[in-house]
Every structure is written in structure tokens, then in C-alpha cells.
Amino acid sequence: MAIPSVDLAEFLSGEEKRKNSFVQSLGKAYEEVGFVAVKNHGVPDELIADLYRYVQEFFSLPLDKKKHYEIAGLAGQRGYTSFGKEHAKGSDAPDLKEFFQYGQTPRDNYKEEEYPPNVNVNEITPFNKTFTDAYRAFEKSGTALLQAIALYLNLEEHYFDDYVYNGNSILRAIHYPPITHEPKSAIRAEQHEDINLITLLVGASADGLQILTKQNEWVGVTSLPDQIVVNVGDMLQRFTNNKLCSTTHRVVNPTRELWHTSRFSIPFFLHPKSSMSLRCLDTCINDAHPKVYDDATAGEYLDERLREIGLKK
């Protein structure tokens, strides 16, 4: 499926007409599809290549070494989470993946909440610096996209800025291992919606991502080279009272001849600070669209969802 494509350079051009055109194209894509491909996103190609290289090196380590980085009590929010620990909301079947998560390192003596420290991988010297650099690059691009979304929602352009600066965003590296025997299901990661405001996904080492269209059909999604796929998450859906919808997606198994291959994927889940209110915008509530969601903060909603997907008890 050719998902809508936009050029972030248009928004950052400084020309009002080009900027407004980008805002409308992005907003329309999120209302109609929920996914968009972004050109000129600002994350350097060399950084992306390094990120995938070191991620593949990490997942190639022996299991006993990887489990050294699985830290109890963090609900998978930092470090390594071993195979089969996470499942989609409403499903008991574990997703066929292992992953590593890297989080915020607050700036400016941030005091609002304590984030757990990131887990340092000792065997791969450039690993943590590469993750830090990638985290900041994704954060910058995501902030610009949220500025465009704010304008589309008739909010002040920088409405989201303070919420995502020192926010609870997560860079997640996922490994779907080779399939070694007849699988019980054709699904590697069961259908789900993301928890956060928006998700930025740069590349993937193999096809498999599918989205559920408004016609209730599953279609494969691949981004073109030099583009990242960015989708709406549940927090933004709640905030806009379903004006911008979080799109259901999943990862399916490859064809049998590719069972021996791994799949790697690195999404950046852009979260705000836990204190941000997700109360539905008044401008998104009317007689035709009554308020759907109870008021909640981002932190309360994240906690609820982590329990639903089995990462938190």
C-alpha cells in the first residue's frame, strides 16, 4: 500500500504557504489513514545504518549475556526484554520477539519525575552513544511533526513542545528471530495500536508490517528509501476524541522460504511527560462527536496499558 507521503522540509521552509500545505496534508493523512511516510525527516542515514548494525550485534549475543541486561522491576521500559514476554492488548498469545528499550536522559536538572537510568551494553562500545544520538534525532523530528499537528488542531504551534521535552519517549529495538518450526499463527506481533502520541519507524530489515484499513482489510506497508513511517498513537487519539485515529497494525510471518531470516525493527515511541492531560480537546467534541474518553494523564494511561500488555503486574 502506498501510504501518503509528506516532506518535512516543506514545514521547516519558513514559507507560510508551503508550511500550511504540509499541515493540511499531514492532518488529512492522519484522519483518513493514520500512517504517513515522511521525507527529509532529519535523521542522518549514517546514524540509521549504525543503529541497525549495533542492534544486530546486540541480538546476536548469547542469551545469557543478553539476559544480563534484563532488569527486574522496570516493566521492560529500559534494557532487554526476552522472547515472548509481551502480548497485544486483548490477546494471551505472546508476540514472537525480543527487544531492547532506551529512554530519556533528562536535561536541565529535570525534577518532575525520576526516570530509570538507561542500561549500558558493555560488549558493544558504540552502542549507547549511537542510541543517545538516534534518540535525540527522532525526538527533534517528532517535535516538528507535533507542531504541525498542533496547527491542524487549531492549537498554538508549540503546544506540545514542553510536554515532549524531557518527556517519557522510548527508542525500541525489536528482533523477530528466525522461525524454526511450524508456527501456531501467521502473526509475529498481534494486531495492536501504539500507546503514545506518535510513533516514528525508520526502515525495517524485512517486510511484514500491515495496517488495517477503514475498509477492514489488511494491507502491507513499506516505506521508500530515505523515508520514515509515522503513525498516530492512542494518546493522540484520546486527546482528539477520535478526530485523529490510532491505526491498528500488526507484523506477519514471512513466506516459508524466508523463515530462516531475522526481522529487525526500530520504532521511536514519542511520549509526553506523565503529567500531560489527555482530556479530549473541547474543539473535538460536539453533538455529532460526543466525548468518548474519561479524563486521564499520560502517566495514568501508560500505566494502564503496560498492565494490559503484560509488561507490568
CATH number at residue 149: 2.60.120.330
Please check whether residue 262 lies inside any domain of the structure.
yes
The predicted structure's pLDDT at residue 205: 46
Is the pLDDT at 189 greater than 80? The verdict is no
How many structural domains does the chain have?
1
| Grid cell at residue 23 | 499541515
The three-class DSSP label of residue 89 is: coil
Range of the domain at 24: 5-308
Which pLDDT tens digit goes with each residue over 145-161?
999 999 999 999 999 99
Residue 89 lies in a domain: yes
**Would you state the pLDDT for residue 75?**
77
The answer to whether residue 313 sits within a structural domain is: no
Q: How far apart are CA 120 and CA 58, in angstroms?
A: 12
Contact 177, 98 (CB under 8 A): yes
Range with lowest mean pLDDT among 100-104, 115-119, 214-218, 239-243: 214-218
Supply the pTM of this predicted model.
Answer: 0.90
